[in-house]
Amino acid sequence: MKTLELSKKYKDYVIEMRRTIHRHPEPGTQEFKTAELIRGELDKMGIPYEAKFVTGTVATIKGNNPGKTVALRADIDALTLDDRTGVDYASEIPGMNHACGHDTHAAMLLGAAKILNEMKDEINGTVKLFFQPAEEVGVGARGMIADGCMEGVDNVFAIHIASGAELGKVGSGAGGRMASADRFIINVTGRGGHGAAPHQCVDAVYIASKIVVALQEIVSRELDPVVPAVVTCGTINGGSRWNIVANEAVIEGTTRCFAPEVRDMLEEAIGRIAKNVAEAYRGTAELDYQRLVAPTVNTAESVDLIEETVKQLLGNGAFFESPAQMGGEDAGEYFAVAPEGGALANLGSRNPNRPETQWPHHHPNFNVDEDAFEIGSALYAQYAINYLNK
């Protein structure tokens, strides 16, 4: 296919872009150099764009024929994590690393931009390219939407590189594929004092410990056993010295689920349990519940189009049904707004013959097989063409 041929043509370009972005990772809402690079490349291609939500960019490619509008989304932010890959394009910023693969997403979408820009005569409608910031901190998609990026957009397609899937395979599935990702902070207050006189005190660390244990019973005792959900307490901090009873303690954690009603229930239950447990031990607890990322729910029609596109590009057997997972991904915010929904595809990047591609996401050794890029750029472009021309 023409998209695959052009993707092969631009493979080295995409690799160069990916490695450049990888060397200069930036945290969410601070991707200034990354945005400058992306916009500079779009200028070279003659593709118009608008700045959106701090460091976001929305480019527009109009086909030579009228039609609907489809958006292709890539995220661009990095993680606060050391880079231990040892490659010559390793991160040059201490403590920052593209260990989730967003550098690959941005580069592949730039490759797709080149492909689509050469195929305007075969496009019935308009393609928008979303280079989105701040996915890792859960505010990027909502910020882009609030800034008007979805005006006139009918459908949205996103790709996520997947170290858990084999090179040459692409996965997706209808319905909830990735969970909501919310954060909770519980501030516990007691009454501090001398460690030798606990009877004169209200131990905030002890209360926080009781709350952590009690929260584990939400999933096991308050939810239907067939409904997936997670409540994780990631940190508990309190106290200033070994012989002082803590006056305050803070618990931080996350919840994951797929249904809006379960999300509501988790917030209510955490607040209720924290308050009542604290009061039972003569203290107080206040909940700060932050709704960061909604569930990613793929529409069936979009998944069917992904499968059809993958078969066109790679043949039968390349597409697989990807399982639901509890990781969060804010691409679902776009799908929920688009009149014809959208979907996320998982692009395999694990090569059994290359040990460096075996590491999981968010690991300091995370890396990918760059042969996946020509598939990703072609998939972005061909999905858009197929959607607009169907």
Return averaged pLDDT per consecutive 10 residues of the chain, 390 residues in all: 96 98 98 98 98 98 96 98 97 98 98 98 97 96 98 98 97 96 97 97 98 97 96 97 98 96 97 98 98 95 98 97 94 97 98 96 98 98 96
Give the pLDDT confidence score for residue 373 in this predicted structure.
98
- Find out whether 345 and 306 touch, Cβ atoms under 8 Å: yes
Is residue 135 among the annotated active site residues? yes
Give the pLDDT confidence score for residue 118 in this predicted structure.
97
Residue of 31, 135, 329, 333 marked catalytic: 135
Beta strands in the chain (DSSP E): 49-52, 56-62, 65-75, 124-132, 155-166, 170-172, 175-179, 181-189, 193-194, 229-238, 244-245, 248-257, 284-293, 296-298, 319-321, 325-328, 342-350
**Distance (Å, whole) CA 230 – CA 324:** 13
- Find out whether 104 and 161 touch, Cβ atoms under 8 Å: yes
187-293, CATH topology level:
Alpha-Beta Plaits (3.30.70)
Give the pLDDT confidence score for residue 1 in this predicted structure.
86
CATH number at 2-179+295-389: 3.40.630.10
The structural domains of the chain, with segments of one domain joined by +, span: 2-179+295-389, 187-293
Q: Among 375, 357, 335, which Cα is nearest to 145's?
A: 335
Q: How far apart are the first and last CA of the chain?
A: 17
Give the pLDDT confidence score for residue 144 in this predicted structure.
98
Residue of 77, 248, 369, 370 marked catalytic: 77
Coil/strand/helix, residue 45:
helix
**Parallel, antiparallel or unpaired: strands 175-179 and 325-328:** parallel
| Residue 8 parent element (H or E) | helix 2-9
Coil/strand/helix, residue 183:
strand
Coil/strand/helix, residue 66:
strand
Coil/strand/helix, residue 390:
coil
Amino acid at 360: P
